[in-house]
Amino acid sequence: MTEKLNTTKIVLRHVLVWLIFISYEVACIQFSVGLKGSMIIIAAYYFLYITLFYVNAHLILDVAFFRTNQPYLIAVALIIFEIMLFTVLKILIDHYILAAKRDFNITPYLTQAYLLSNVFREIFFIGFSIAYWSMLYMVRFREKNHQMEKPQLKSIASSLELENKYMSVENAYLQNQISPHLLFNSLNFIHNQVYKESAEAGNSVARLSDLMRYSLVNADDTRTVLLSQEVKQMENLIALCQMRFKNNFYLRFHKRGKLKSVSIIPLILITLVENMMKHGDLGDKRKPAFILLELKDRQLRFETRNKIRNTNLYPKNGLGLKNIEKRLTNYYQGKYTMLAGGDDETFNVNLIIDL
């Protein structure tokens, strides 16, 4: 009974995440470009991409890394085949649902622009599928590790049965380490392939890989990073959004001071920028978003200002800002001030840290 309840909760969470993601993308397209599609077309497209996401995570990667002797080679080959197969399926959907034609003609679908746009879209979902698969197996391993205490197993591993159990745990741990390497190696491979056809798409994959690597490696408050490293990843995040929204993205980023001379705890400034892009309206040329980063006399000043989005694509519960304040309090202990607020149209964040 408990297992069924847990499964139901997981399914509901997945459904909720997809509904939020689809609503966000559809809203972005409608508000930034003005395009509207029928529910049948939207449902068909997202059913295809969601299927791609789960096929890649629970079939392609599982088969490659747990049932073959050459996981990386097999994974790359299967992903390439997967992209080709889903491109064909996308062509069929475009022809029979969007164009609503009975006579099939492949010629209109063999243009470079059409193929690149669809391949890049598939790579986008495959990339997130790889990240989901990696995190899924990390969580599962941690649960196993909590249930089976390694020190206790070492002390009583006199019998062959207990020794084999311990070796199984060690093997599971080693297999789990494959996940981050798979993520970045796959992204590097995809970047090399895509860059040959589209420099912009290749740069997007490279920036995403760099940003995800930085987030995974530096997700620990006990260490610090150079401020210049944090700024570089902020610029990656901004560049990714700029590539996505093209001419409907207005942001001014000003930097002052020697940013390589100090260190801070990671992911604070990036989270504030991400929060601004998630809840703010950056498509108004008359009211562009604004970021100021200033370092003077070992005092860091970080300010963001943005127009508030009219549509609530994400719940505004303030948890992101609260978590940032907790991290700042734990590490800097009174050596900082952070003010967040604004009026009905504008939201501001002002952060000052004595380094």
User: Tens of pLDDT along 178-233?
Assistant: 344 444 454 554 555 555 566 666 666 667 666 666 666 555 555 788 899 889 88
Measured CA to CA, the distance from residue 122 to residue 56 in angstroms comes to: 11
Domain boundaries 223-354, corresponding CATH code: 3.30.565.10
27-76 tens-digit pLDDT: 887 777 666 667 777 888 889 999 999 999 889 988 888 888 898 899 99
User: Hey, where are the domains in the chain?
Assistant: 37-207, 223-354
Measured CA to CA, the distance from residue 56 to residue 78 in angstroms comes to: 9
From the DSSP assignment, how many helices (H) and strands (E) are in the chain? Answer: 12, 8
Q: Which residues pair with 52 in a beta bridge?
A: none
Q: Note if the pTM is more than 0.85.
A: no
What 3 state SS string does 17-28 have?
A: HHHHHHHHHHHH
pLDDT confidence of residue 178? 39
Measured CA to CA, the distance from residue 184 to residue 136 in angstroms comes to: 16
pLDDT confidence of residue 242? 82
CA distances (Å), origin 241, targets 3, 61, 115, 285: 40, 28, 22, 16
Six-digit token string for 329: 């309090």
pLDDT confidence of residue 339? 92
Can you tell me whether residue 347 is helix, strand or coil? Answer: strand
Mean pLDDT for all residues in the chain: 78
